Amino acid sequence: MRRTYAVLALGVAWGIFQLASMTVIILDVLQARPIHLAFALAATFLYRPFRTGGSRDPNRLGITDIILAIISLATGAYIFLDHIRIAMRWIPVSPVYPLDLLFGIITILLVLEACRRCVGLSLPIIATFFLLYAYFGRYFPGILFFWGVEFERLVEYMYLTTEGLYGIPLGVSYSYVYLFILFAAFLHETGAGRFFMDVSYAVV
């Protein structure tokens, strides 16, 4: 499969979802944000390949990138389809199902890998350290000591609530950042941006 076509198809689907969810379809927070993140992860894996060298055709998708993109979409679809149960959960009491735990772990790992591909190792290392600290806090000395969080609850907070991956930063990305980027890309590709610049120069 050609990388260009895959990224184009994904981008069109992402744009339609964003515009529809802002104008036509009313979505719950735990529906919109997971799908937004799923599209972002899939786009990252398709646009930034696992390996840049050693291939005769750099525009051809690798099987690893395709699998990761599909899994990324599945993690968002899981919450989207079962958002009523997830939204009604009582965090300290409600059980975490095996599929919740599985998709939560996979999503955290996908976010770390996507982050590594975009910005390098520094940010994923810092994020991994604090995830480990949340669980192994009881083994830290002095003022760093705290009782830690159970692994199941840690994944729950990160994946099944708006306190972790689907928090305020992702909400801002979904509601504002993406739309500004889409509008800017539209102006650039249609030449409207250049037109407004020319008008400004002419007026001045």
- Side chain identity, residue 169: P
In the DSSP assignment, the letter for residue 167 is S
Alpha carbon 63 to chain centroid, angstroms = 20
For residue 50, the SS3 value is coil
Neighbouring C-beta atoms of residue 190, cutoff 10 Å: 10
pLDDT given at position 1: 63
pLDDT in tens, 40-56: 999 999 998 876 544 45
Q: Is the CB of residue 66 less than 8 Å from the CB of residue 37? A: no
Both tokens assigned to 166: 């689907």
Q: Can you tell me the distance from the alpha carbon of 51 to that of 53, in angstroms, rounded to the nearest whole number? A: 6
Q: Can you tell me the distance from the alpha carbon of 73 to that of 61, in angstroms, rounded to the nearest whole number? A: 17
pLDDT given at position 54: 47
| pTM, rounded to two decimals | 0.87
pLDDT given at position 201: 84
pLDDT given at position 194: 78
pLDDT given at position 56: 53
Each residue's pLDDT, cut to its tens digit, for the chain (204 residues) gives 678 888 899 999 999 999 999 888 889 999 999 999 999 999 999 998 876 544 456 677 889 999 999 999 999 999 999 999 998 988 878 888 999 999 999 999 999 999 999 999 999 999 999 999 999 988 888 888 888 899 999 999 999 999 899 999 999 999 999 999 988 888 888 877 677 787 888 888
Nearest to 114 by CA among 171, 75, 172: 75
Placement of tokens 């030449």 in the chain: 191
pLDDT given at position 91: 82
CA distances from 88 to 26, 30, 92, 123 (A): 18, 11, 12, 33
Placement of tokens 């999503």 in the chain: 107
164, burial (CB in 10 Å: exposed 0-12, middle 13-18, buried 19+): middle
